[in-house]
């Protein structure tokens, strides 16, 4: 049964050679057996279709007679994935089967898949990120605070300022990479020889090297030392949230980019205040007459004591809101609220006189 090579590659019958090549690359990438979800059968069919449609003479015959035109000893399409691998290594496939990519380098077709292909100038090494925990009390987290953090980390060398060169020495073009910061590395794979671009091991991607190494840091440009950093903790931060200080992590060797410092907040428990989001919750006890008649009580907030009016007939467990006495919303000037949970205190022991009065009031309540 004749195969529809145009349909296999997903192109129209009148497609140009470039369109066919582009379609084959896309299909080969998608169905390559070494990729997740790859399909060896579809990969083979795509290659078979490309062998015919990329050759002007074969394509003309195919358009006239269909895919059976070469079964008398020509194309046939009976190669396996093992044949493909043998051919890619330079060996011969089954029955003289040839994989012809029209003179195009296999590395160009599959370079992206294996990380090959040329790129621009290599990036220099980046320093490691650092994470530290900072402990805050409830009000420090609510209103913000400045904290001094002690760090022991890799920092830029004070003598050479991180260049790795002895003071007064000149920077010279790297002889290994010619100033490009990267070099080509050939790697033999089952698809043939692939060329990868790697960071130059001689200059670590800088493209240049000092004529004399710094004696203090040995040419690395970094030394381990202690430092103190002042960190401004914003109002409203909560436990587990982190601040990112760009460039305050460990310095990179040879003048590369420093890493980042992550400061993670940990808020110590408070026996009086409880936090939910940006709202603050506390409890207040009142006696039975206060619950029935109403009253004014003093409530401790993060701003200090504030008077709260208790309405008549309040029930135990009811929440009273004190607007604007909560925690500042992170990154904003507005504040959340303070909620007071009312608890009606019932005495376990009372005098005979009080008991008598309650008995008299019992029928009226």
CB 100 within 8 A of CB 75: no
Q: What are the structural domains of the chain?
A: 5-104 (1.10.287.110), 130-267 (2.10.230.10), 274-361 (2.60.260.20)
- Distance between CA atoms of residues 286 and 305, nearest Å: 16
CA distances from 358 to 39, 258, 350 (A): 87, 75, 10
- Distance between CA atoms of residues 160 and 272, nearest Å: 54
- Distance between CA atoms of residues 143 and 328, nearest Å: 7
pLDDT at 128: 92
pLDDT at 358: 76
pLDDT averaged over every residue in the chain: 82
Q: Which residue would you say has higher pLDDT here, 306 or 82? A: 306
Where residue 80 falls among pLDDT bands split at 50, 70, 90?
very low
Q: What's the full length of the chain, in residues?
A: 365
Q: Which residue would you say has higher pLDDT here, 347 or 193? A: 347
pLDDT at 190: 57
Where residue 67 falls among pLDDT bands split at 50, 70, 90?
low
CB 125 within 8 A of CB 164: no
Mean of the pLDDT values across residues 119-132?
73
Contacts (Cβ under 8 Å, ≥6 apart) of 83: 93, 94, 97
Structure tokens at 286: 């009142």
| Residue 89 φ then ψ, to 5° | -80, -5
Q: Which residue would you say has higher pLDDT here, 262 or 32? A: 262
Q: Which residue would you say has higher pLDDT here, 360 or 84? A: 360
Residue with tokens 């709202």: 279
Least confident of 80-84, 132-136, 144-148, 329-333: 80-84
User: Do the strands 130-136 and 304-310 form a parallel or antiparallel pair, or are they unpaired?
Assistant: unpaired
Classified as helix, coil or strand, 236 is: coil
What one-character DSSP code corresponds to residue 94? G
% of the chain residues with pLDDT over 70: 80
Q: Name the most confidently modeled range: 51-55, 188-192, 211-215, 280-284.
A: 280-284
């Amino acid at each position: 049964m004749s195969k529809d090579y145009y349909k296999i590659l997903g192109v129209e019958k009148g497609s140009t050679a470039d369109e066919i090549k582009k379609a084959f690359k896309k299909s080969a990438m998608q169905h390559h057996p070494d990729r997740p979800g790859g399909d060896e059968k579809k990969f083979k069919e795509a290659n078979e279709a490309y062998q015919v449609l990329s050759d002007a003479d074969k394509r003309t015959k195919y358009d006239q007679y269909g895919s059976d035109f070469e079964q008398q000893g020509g194309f046939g399409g009976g190669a396996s994935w093992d044949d493909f691998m043998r051919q890619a290594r330079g060996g011969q496939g089954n029955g003289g089967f040839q994989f012809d990519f029209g003179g195009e380098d296999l590395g160009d077709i599959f370079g992206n898949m294996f990380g090959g292909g040329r790129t621009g100038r290599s990036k220099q090494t980046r320093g490691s990120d650092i994470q530290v925990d900072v402990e805050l009390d409830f009000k420090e987290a609510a209103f913000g605070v400045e904290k001094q953090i002690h760090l022991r980390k890799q920092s830029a060398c004070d003598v050479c300022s991180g260049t790795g060169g002895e003071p007064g020495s000149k920077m010279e073009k790297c002889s290994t990479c010619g100033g490009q910061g990267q070099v080509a590395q050939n790697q033999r794979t089952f698809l043939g020889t692939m060329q990868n671009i790697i960071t130059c091991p001689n200059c670590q991607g800088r493209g240049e090297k000092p004529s004399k190494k710094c004696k203090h840091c040995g040419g690395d440009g970094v030394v381990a030392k202690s430092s103190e950093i002042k960190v401004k903790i914003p109002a409203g931060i909560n436990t587990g949230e982190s601040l990112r200080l760009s460039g305050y992590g460990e310095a990179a060797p040879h003048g590369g980019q420093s890493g980042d410092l992550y400061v993670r907040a940990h808020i110590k428990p408070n026996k009086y205040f409880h936090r939910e989001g940006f709202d603050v919750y506390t409890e207040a006890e009142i006696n039975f007459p206060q619950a029935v008649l109403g009253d004014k009580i003093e409530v401790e907030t993060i701003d200090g004591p504030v008077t709260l009016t208790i309405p008549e007939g309040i029930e135990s467990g009811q929440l009273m809101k004190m607007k604007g006495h909560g925690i500042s919303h992170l990154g904003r000037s507005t504040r959340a609220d303070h909620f007071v949970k009312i608890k009606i205190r019932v005495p376990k022991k009372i005098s005979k006189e009080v008991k008598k009065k309650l008995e008299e009031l019992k029928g009226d309540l």
